[in-house]
Structure 1
Amino acid sequence: MRGVTVKRFFIGIDLGGTSMKIGLVSDQGKVIRETEKPTLKEEGADGVIDRMVSHARNLAKEACVPWQEIQGVGVGLPGFLDIPGGVVKYMTNLGWTDIPIRDRLQSAWQVPVKIDNDANVAALGEVWSGAGNGEKNAICITLGTGVGGGIIAEGELLHGAKGFAGEIGHIQVEPEGALCNCGQTGCLETVSSATGMVRLVHHAVSVGEKTCLAPYVRDGSLSTRHIFAEAKRGDAVARKTVDQAVHALAQVMATLSVVLNPSLFIIGGGVSQAGESLLNPLRKKYQCLAQKNARQDVRIVLAQLGNRAGFIGAAGLLAHIQK
């Protein structure tokens, strides 16, 4: 009937090592219903996949949406993926190898299924219905235990030849720096992640530098919250640590600007909880380091969706292609 808008529903799943977040999402990016369930990785791939299937169906049922009205399911996954083939090649935190997850889920649900990297779907979520507000060229950087990234170019997720596009945390910023988990030295992750910032303070204390952060180092409770708080109070080690992390991040963002020319950087993850204490120096340093034309009109903002970004973006994998 003319003039009647038919709402379409999608399910998004953000699978992690400890929990799976599942959301029923409209074609406008609105969350209708959501849930979080334990992953129970000890059940192996078969058990986890079976539980994903049942939890998704139950969520739709709880929302009084018949399964026939679900247009598709998107799944965000950590690890190395064959995205076109729908296969988890290797997932460290769950111990999966060569799992054809898309075909198995598609067979169980009888709806289209798409998979993608968890950082990519978080970026898509923010651009679709969060801080990105529909931007066509944006880069989402997640500062947590590591540094993740997702790139939206001309409205599309950028994957690259082997699916590694967006591994921003492994851009080298200090050739003689600390060893990264990837085997390379001086990656951005070793300086600007929460782990990297804590490491810098530990090193400063170990060589005898005086800091109010020393008690947190000794009892093992040091976090970036402590570092930013003491930096604000003028602690020299804390300020140096924040400066180093911000400089490295701005350096990488300046490089990305001349390569990809984004209009927006979205900063998320635990470190971003520092808010303007992070954004203010980051914006200033970026303006100093980025090429004039590439930095023009570029905005740097905080992510808005929190831990909902993953499942919203996963649903967006299907909603996006059906527009």
Structure 2
Amino acid sequence: MSEKIYIGVDLGGTTVKLGICTEEGELLHKFEGPTDAEQGPETVLNRINEYSRALVGNSSFSWDQVAGVGAGIPGFMDIAEGFVKLSPNFPGFVNVPVKKGLEERFGKPVKINNDANVAVLGEAWAGAGKGVSTLVCYTLGTGVGGGVIVDGRLCTGFAGMAGELGHMQIVPDLEAIQCGCGQYGCLETVSSATGIIRMATDAVERGDSTTLTELGSITAKDVFDAAKAGDEVACRIVNRAAYYLGRAMAAVAVVINPQRFIVGGGVSAAGDVLLDPVREVFKKYTTNKANEGVEIVRAQLGNSAGVVGAAGLMLRG
């Protein structure tokens, strides 16, 4: 067993997930507790410190064996300087020196990154991307996140904005609606759970003939289940979400030329009813050299991806 251990922190709006990983990316222990985000940045940093020490204290390891701590945080940040510039779901998280604050509490080196980026790193290190040097990951949930690994390293870009795949403006103007980011036609508006639910709700309100009208509150899972059962409206919605995801991947492929695309997040649970049409669209809109040997697969680590990837920031971030 590795003598050095790495702590990964996946900071969520209501819950902090933490884990201990080896140098090989094996997740050994997990812990989670309330974020208490409404109490402000200092409280959140204190909670991370308390939980990390409890995690190690309840394991067979000592604090001296901790080689570093990585944290995945939702929002916009200055990664190099370790500042969270803005995290909309965390009151008061504006220009917060998270790296410095945690290093003072831990007495250990700390790296931070966007939560979607660390989930990608987790999949690349120990999940569906293990052994692949260049890959792109999409996380389809409430929104669409993503990240890019090139030659084994996380690509963050000049201002830390690389991998914001959900905000590629892919939907034509006449069909585009405004995204939460303020722009129009983002992938997130059609291929996220939110986008799928919106399209289904619109169909019901228009009076389209669909079994979805029998449901009081529609979820993305409802739409996929209806599509699997042959509901034409649900199939149309799923195919539209898949179409724009496949088109977005085709655009990325000629820039990055990844060996593998990984699709994670709650929407990915739909499986091949979503991924099969994505694969068809991707192949249609790329040249042979850009799609030859390229795989589009589901993520493997589930809710542990962020914790594993955050720990991996110390080695591969």
Q: TM-score band (shorter)?
A: over 0.9
Letter paired with 2:108: V
Aligned with 1:61 (options 50, 57, 61)? 57
Change (3 A) 1:320 1:170: closer
Deviation of 1:266 after TM superposition, in Å, equals 0.4
Residues 1:14 and 2:13 are matched in the alignment: no
Alignment match, 1:180: 179
- Count of residues in Structure 1 that have an aligned counterpart in Structure 2: 314
Counterpart of 2:223 (choices 221, 227, 231) is 227
Match of 2:195 in 1: 196
Residues 215 and 6 from structure 1, CA distance in 2 versus in 1: closer, same or farther, beyond 3 angstroms?
closer
- Indicate which of 107, 110, 124 corresponds to 1:110: 107
In 1, are the aligned partners of 2:75 and 2:86 still within 8 Å (CA)? yes
The equivalent of 1:160 in structure 2 is 157
Would you say 1:304 and 2:300 are equivalent positions? yes
Report the alpha carbon displacement of residue 6 of structure 1 after superposing the two structures with TM: 4.8
Tell me if the contact between 1:32 and 1:63 (Cα under 8 Å) persists in the aligned partners: no
Contact 2:7 2:66 (8 Å CA) reproduced = yes
Unaligned regions of 5+ residues in structure 2, if any? none
2:25: which partner in 1?
A: 29
Residue identity in the other structure for 2:170: V
Q: What residue identity is the alignment partner of 1:193?
A: S
Provide the C-alpha distance between the structure 2 equivalents of 1:277 and 1:17, rounded to a whole number of angstroms. Answer: 31
Larger mean Cα displacement after TM superposition, 283-292 or 109-118? 283-292
Deviation at 1:320, TM superposition (A): 2.8
Q: Deviations over 1:243-269 (max 9, x none)?
A: 100000000000000011000000001
CA distance in structure 2 between the aligned counterparts of 1:6 and 1:231, rounded to whole angstroms = 47
- Matched residue of 1:81: which SS? strand
Letter in 2 for 1:67: W
**Identical residues among aligned pairs (%):** 45
Shift of 1:207: 2.1
Quote the Cα distance in structure 2 between the aligned partners of 1:291 and 1:227: 32
Partner of 1:206: 205
**RMSD of Structure 2 on Structure 1 (CA):** 1.2
For residues 85-125 of structure 1, what are the alpha-carbon distances to aligned partners after superposition, in whole Å with 9 as ceiling and x for unaligned? 00111111012111101011111111110000000000000
**Map of 1:264-275 to 2, 5 A cutoff?**
264-275=260-271
What is the distance in 2 between the residues matched to 1:6 and 1:205? 56
Post-superposition shift, 1:84? 0.3
Matched residues in 2 for 1:277 and 1:7: separation? 44
Mapped to 2, the partners of 1:51 and 1:145 lie a distance apart of: 25
In 2: Cα distance, 1:320 partner to 1:249 partner: 27
Cα separation, 2, equivalents of 1:290 and 1:145: 28
Deviations 1:261-314 (A, max 9, x none): 000000001110111211222212211122211111001110010110001000
SS at match of 1:213: helix
Match of 2:117 among 108, 117, 120: 120
Contact 2:152–2:316 (8 Å) recurs in 1: no
Distance 1:291 1:100 in 2: 45
Residue number in structure 2 paired with 1:242:
238
* 1:108 match: secondary structure: helix
Distance 2:206 2:221 in 1: 22
Amino acid corresponding to residue 99 of structure 2 in structure 1: R
Q: Which amino acid aligns with 2:127?
A: G
In the alignment, structure 1 segments of 5+ residues that lack a partner are: none
Q: Deviation digits for residues 161-212 of structure 1, max 9, x if unmatched?
A: 1111111111112223111111111111111111101111111222221111
> 1:135 maps to what in 2?
132
Quote the offset at 1:134 in angstroms. 2.5
C-alpha distance in structure 1 between counterparts of 2:2 and 2:55, whole Å: 20
State how far apart, in whole Å, the 1-side matches of 2:47 and 2:112 are. Answer: 17
Give the distance between the partners of 1:48 and 1:204, measured in 2 at CA. Answer: 42
